[in-house]
């Protein structure tokens, strides 16, 4: 008959499953809860000289916070002070510590890991996580800060090839009154997200949406890091372009096509609204085909079905007697064609045709749109050549909005940024 050699863990220790500890007692407390007393299963080494101790000096019980095991559990650690038997060591005695409960710790490592996973991987709010694990909000926050220190990579050690920059709103609009002049000032708390377009990881979150915040962040990066960046995708923001010209002068800048098409759609909407006021002297109503099918005007013409194309023709025939709305719509469609071109020669030819359509429309909305295209023409050429867009930045901004909604908003911007960076790093690594 074969019998296993060595010491097998008892059932209580196997169920509790705390590394480096064994259960020496389990009982019911007077209030109906459970109390588990544990102790270390191996003699510790001196933290100064490393010599393994063999003589105990005293014992005390320390209450430690741990994950719920089949419900809430009160965990007491039977903690010993040991003699250091090395004569040359200056330390005479020491309390034992483990990887799960280091020195001066009051909670287990697996509890801190569970707290971080609940906030970062499961997307739960810090307050909700604290309530679920019966710990304080501050403990969850400290666990997140520790995870940021251990998990987040050094930005200066990375070498991104393509960057994306876009802004998002940190908090709702606020108004402040000057105590002397009694004048109210509108304050919009914006933040700017900087993303690696190859991996989709958020590299930085800076305050504001002007050139200073982005410029200071880029200036803090090493010169080799900045020289490695080849393309940066932005929306049509003069502030971002100014920061890039200052600190990344050799880097190609691409403007995002979604924002340009959005400007064209805005021109169509403004034209429809102005024509309704000029022709009918009122706003659009449900009886007006231009208002009833206003979203149809914003769709891509090449994506319309046969029925949708017929409805669009009815709009132009019924509510556009001068052909102005159709002319502006054609400008919008030509801009979409321009942004889909695959070479600079095709783009230049499409731009000439766009200019002719703008002159034909003779509207201030299309003139403003064409001036924007001319002002950002170099960035449009980079977009056509590289295809770099801010799509991954917008995806991260959507995830950031979910973080903000889950937590019902953040008051501390540092805590806000740490959750954004940590969640992005964890999901990118996965």
Average pLDDT of the chain, as a whole number = 91
pLDDT in tens, 305-344: 999 999 999 999 988 888 999 999 999 999 999 999 989 9
For the cut 80, the answer to whether the pLDDT of residue 406 exceeds it is yes
**Res 7 pLDDT > 50:** no
Q: Facing residues of 23 across strands?
A: 38
The pLDDT confidence band at residue 187, using thresholds 50, 70 and 90, is confident
Say whether 348 sits in a helix, a strand or coil: helix
Which of 360, 424, 430 has its CA nearest to residue 393? 424
Task: List pLDDT tens digits, range 263-280.
Answer: 999 999 999 999 999 888
Residue 231: beta bridge partners?
Answer: 162, 252
In the beta sheet, which residues pair with residue 78? 61
Q: What's the confidence (pLDDT) of residue 430?
A: 62
For helices 344-361 and 364-375, the axis angle rounded to 10 degrees is: 160
The stretch 212-218 carries a mean pLDDT of: 94
CA dihedral 142, 147, 152, 154 (to 10 degrees): 70
| 109-121: average pLDDT | 93
386: its two tokens: 């590289």
The angle, 0 to 180 degrees and rounded to 10, between the axes of the packed helices 377-386 and 364-375 is: 70
What's the pLDDT score for residue 216? 94
**What pLDDT score was predicted for residue 409?**
86
Compute the distance between CA of residue 261 and CA of residue 259 in angstroms, rounded to an integer.
5
Cα(30)–Cα(180) distance, rounded to whole angstroms? Answer: 63
The maximal CA–CA distance of the chain, rounded, in angstroms, is: 103
CA proximity to 100, closest of 57, 42, 60: 42
Q: In what helix (H) or strand (E) does residue 364 lie, and over which residues does it extend? A: helix 364-375
Given this model, what pLDDT does residue 5 score? 45
- pLDDT at residue 227 tops 90: yes
User: Which residues lie across from 168 on neighbouring strands?
Assistant: 191
Backbone angles phi, psi at 65, to 5 degrees: -85, 135
Confidence of residue 33 (pLDDT cuts 50, 70, 90): confident
Q: Which one, of 169, 175, 171, lies nearest residue 187 by Cα?
A: 175
Q: How far apart are CA 310 and CA 318, in angstroms?
A: 12
CB 327 within 8 A of CB 363: yes
- Percent pLDDT > 70 in the chain is 98
Give the pLDDT mean for 350-377: 96
What does the buried/exposed string (b/e) look like for 114-131 if buried means 16 or more CB atoms within 10 Å of the residue's CB? bbbebbbeeebbbebbbe
Q: CA-based angle 411:131:189, to the nearest 5?
A: 10
The string of pLDDT tens digits covering residues 39-95 is 998 889 998 888 898 889 999 999 999 998 888 889 999 999 999 988 888 888 999
Cα–Cα dist 232/212, whole Å: 17
Residue-level length of the chain? 430
Q: Which residues pair with 75 in a beta bridge?
A: 36, 64
The pair phi, psi for residue 356, each rounded to 5°, is -65, -40
* Closest-CA residue to 384 (of 348, 354, 357): 348
């Amino acid at each position: 008959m074969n019998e296993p050699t060595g010491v097998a863990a008892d059932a209580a220790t196997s169920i509790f499953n705390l590394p480096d500890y064994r259960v020496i007692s389990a009982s019911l407390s007077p209030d109906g809860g459970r109390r588990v007393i544990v102790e270390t299963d191996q003699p510790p080494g001196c933290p100064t000289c490393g010599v393994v101790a063999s003589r105990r000096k005293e014992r005390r019980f320390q209450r430690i916070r741990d994950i719920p095991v089949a419900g809430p559990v009160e965990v007491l650690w039977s903690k010993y002070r040991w003699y250091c038997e090395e004569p040359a060591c200056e330390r005479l005695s020491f309390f034992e510590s483990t990887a799960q409960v280091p020195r001066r710790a009051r909670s287990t490592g697996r509890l801190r890991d569970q707290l971080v996973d609940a906030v970062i991987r499961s997307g739960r709010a810090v307050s909700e996580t604290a309530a679920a694990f019966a710990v304080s909000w501050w403990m969850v926050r400290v666990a997140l800060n520790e995870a940021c220190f251990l998990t987040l990579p050094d930005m200066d050690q990375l070498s991104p090839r393509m960057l994306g920059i876009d802004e998002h709103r940190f908090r709702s609009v606020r108004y402040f009154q000057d105590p002397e002049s009694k004048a109210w000032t509108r304050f919009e708390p914006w933040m700017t997200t900087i993303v690696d377009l190859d991996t989709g990881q958020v590299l930085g979150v800076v305050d504001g949406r002007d050139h200073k915040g982005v410029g200071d962040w880029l200036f803090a990066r090493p010169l080799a890091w900045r020289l490695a960046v080849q393309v940066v995708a932005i929306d049509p923001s003069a502030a971002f372009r100014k920061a890039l010209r200052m600190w990344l002068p050799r880097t190609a800048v691409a403007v995002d096509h979604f924002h340009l098409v959005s400007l064209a759609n805005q021109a169509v909407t403004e034209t429809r609204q102005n024509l309704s006021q000029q022709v009918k002297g009122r706003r659009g109503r449900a009886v007006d085909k231009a208002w009833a099918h206003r979203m149809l005007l914003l769709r891509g013409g090449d994506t319309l079905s046969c029925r949708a194309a017929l409805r669009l023709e009815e709009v132009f025939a019924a509510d556009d007697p001068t052909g102005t709305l159709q002319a502006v719509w054609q400008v919008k469609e030509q801009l979409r064609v321009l942004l889909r071109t695959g070479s600079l020669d095709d783009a230049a030819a499409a731009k000439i045709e766009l200019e002719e359509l703008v002159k034909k429309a003779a509207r201030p909305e299309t003139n403003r749109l064409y001036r924007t295209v001319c002002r950002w023409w170099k960035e449009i050429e980079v977009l056509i050549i590289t295809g770099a867009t801010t799509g991954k930045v917008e995806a991260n901004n959507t995830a950031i909005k979910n973080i903000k909604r889950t937590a019902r908003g953040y008051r501390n911007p540092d805590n806000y940024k740490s959750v954004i960076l940590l969640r992005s790093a964890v999901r990118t690594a996965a």
